[in-house]
Structure 1
Amino acid sequence: MLKVENLNVHYGNIHALKNISFEVAKGEIVTLIGANGAGKTSTLQAVSGMLKPSGGKITLKEQDISHIEAHKLVPLGMAHVPEGRRVFAQMTVEENLELGAYILNNKKQISEDIEKMYARFPRLKERRKQLAGTMSGGEQQMLAMARALMSRPEIVLMDEPSMGLAPILVQEIFDIIKEINTTGTTVLLVEQNANMALQIAHRAYVLETGEVVLSGVGKELLNNAQVKKAYLGA
């Protein structure tokens, strides 16, 4: 579904991503793990059109999207849940969800999809008229995920969904990611919580200073000595 070949990104004179290559097949959860500054967020932002690559190729369903603007990728089936949630703080939960469906014109369909989000995220239903900025971090993360799903994406990019959340909420967020995947949505996940990410991922890529240094099946990397030492505190 998604293929990244020799991706390069520069910030001025800084070479942030160096010939990164990876693939995400339809129906997979693929995770990118690595330390702060490894290039995980830059990779997602380049894939979703928020950063312009300085080299390489990105294809989505065999279409070259390397230089397509971010908003034009949503109708092609891609959604991005950004780091830090980025909900519209001065709008209600329901208004945030409606904005997530901006590419859809069928009001009945949008209403039905909102009800599906409330079934999947019951806490959002309880707070449907509440301003998003007044909710807890975990609730805002659920809203950011639900808002992305409102565009009916085939692939969702998630950037650090567990960041700053209490352990009990972290487990809930990862359970939701698995559930989203079982309903047919492909997931590309960036996570600092390598242990949790590798437990749910079909495959994983390890990034260090802008390069892929290791890849493999998620559960196999959990038992990899190099990964354990660097990312799992072993």
Structure 2
Amino acid sequence: MLKVENLNVHYGNIHAIKDLNIEINKGEIICLIGANGAGKTSTLHSISKLIIPSSGKMFFEGEEITNLSTTEIVKRGLIQVPEGRRVFANLTVLENLELGAYLKTNKKEVEKDMEKVFNRFPRLYERKTQLAGTLSGGEQQMLAMGRALMASPKLLLLDEPSMGLAPLLIQEVFNIVQEINKEMGITILIVEQNANMALKISDRAYILETGNIIKSGNAKNLLHDEAVREAYLG
């Protein structure tokens, strides 16, 4: 579904991503784990074209997307939920969700998608007229995910969805990620510092260290890999 070949990213003299190769098959949950500064977010931003890579190629559903704009990437169903949620604090829950569907022109389709989001996140329905900035951290994460679902993603890129959340909410967010994958058939690439939880729900994983993929494979196998446990699972 998504293939990234020999991706390189530079920030001035800093070589942040070095000849990175990843492949994601339809229906999978793939996690990208690594320490702070490993290049996880840079990888997602390169795929979304929020930053322009120095070199490399990217293919989505067989089409080369290397030189497409962010808008064109979104049109093809490749949607990112940013780190830190980034909801529009001064807009209501409903307005935030409507912005997720800004490329859609069919009102009935938008209404149908809105209904699906509210069924998935009943708390958002209860707070639909509330300003997003007044929601709890967990509710804002649900709103950010709901907003992404309004764009009808084929591949959902999740950047640190558990960041700053209480343990009970972290479990809930990971449950939601699994439901989105299994029940809605959406392929997911998740970047997470909570490596333990990410590996538990993923099919496969890539481990990133200073811009290099140092290990990849079946997520459950990596979860029990002694070197991985020591380095990332505590």
Please tell me the TM-score bracket, short chain as reference: over 0.9
Q: Return the offset for 1:82.
A: 0.4
- Matched letter for residue 60 of structure 1: F
| Residue 149 (structure 2) aligns with | 149
**Separation (CA, whole Å) in 1 of partners of 2:103 and 2:31:** 27
Question: Which secondary structure state, in structure 2, belongs to the residue aligned with residue 74 of structure 1?
Answer: helix
| Residue 188 (structure 1) aligns with | 189
Q: Trace 1:1-234 onto structure 2 (pairs within 5 A).
A: 1-182=1-182, 183-233=184-234
Gapped runs of 5+ residues in structure 2? none
Q: Return the offset for 1:97.
A: 0.6
- Matched letter for residue 220 of structure 1: N
**Separation (CA, whole Å) in 2 of partners of 1:112 and 1:22:** 34
Question: Which secondary structure state, in structure 2, belongs to the residue aligned with residue 56 of structure 1?
Answer: strand
**Separation (CA, whole Å) in 2 of partners of 1:224 and 1:94:** 44
Question: Which secondary structure state, in structure 2, belongs to the residue aligned with residue 205 of structure 1?
Answer: strand
**Separation (CA, whole Å) in 2 of partners of 1:76 and 1:220:** 33
> Which of 59-68 and 141-150 deviates more?
59-68
Question: Which secondary structure state, in structure 2, belongs to the residue aligned with residue 51 of structure 1?
Answer: coil
- Matched letter for residue 97 of structure 1: L
**Separation (CA, whole Å) in 2 of partners of 1:154 and 1:127:** 27
Question: Which secondary structure state, in structure 1, belongs to the residue aligned with residue 75 of structure 2?
Answer: coil
Q: Return the offset for 1:48.
A: 0.5
Q: Deviations over 1:50-91 (max 9, x none)?
A: 010101111111111112111211111111000010111111
How many corresponding residue pairs? 233
Q: Return the offset for 1:195.
A: 0.3
Gapped runs of 5+ residues in structure 1? none
Question: Which secondary structure state, in structure 2, belongs to the residue aligned with residue 133 of structure 1?
Answer: helix
- Matched letter for residue 30 of structure 1: I
Question: Which secondary structure state, in structure 1, belongs to the residue aligned with residue 41 of structure 2?
Answer: helix
Question: Which secondary structure state, in structure 2, belongs to the residue aligned with residue 36 of structure 1?
Answer: coil
Q: Deviations over 1:139-189 (max 9, x none)?
A: 000000000010111000000000000000000000000000012100010
Q: Deviations over 1:18-71 (max 9, x none)?
A: 000010000000000000000000000000110101011111111111121112
- Matched letter for residue 92 of structure 1: T
Which 4+ runs in 1 deviate beyond 4 A? none
Question: Which secondary structure state, in structure 2, belongs to the residue aligned with residue 143 of structure 1?
Answer: helix
**Separation (CA, whole Å) in 2 of partners of 1:4 and 1:24:** 9
Q: Return the offset for 1:16.
A: 0.2
Question: Which secondary structure state, in structure 1, belongs to the residue aligned with residue 18 of structure 2?
Answer: strand
Percent identity, aligned pairs only, is 61
**Separation (CA, whole Å) in 2 of partners of 1:63 and 1:108:** 29
- Matched letter for residue 172 of structure 2: E
**Separation (CA, whole Å) in 1 of partners of 2:58 and 2:47:** 7
**Separation (CA, whole Å) in 1 of partners of 2:61 and 2:103:** 19
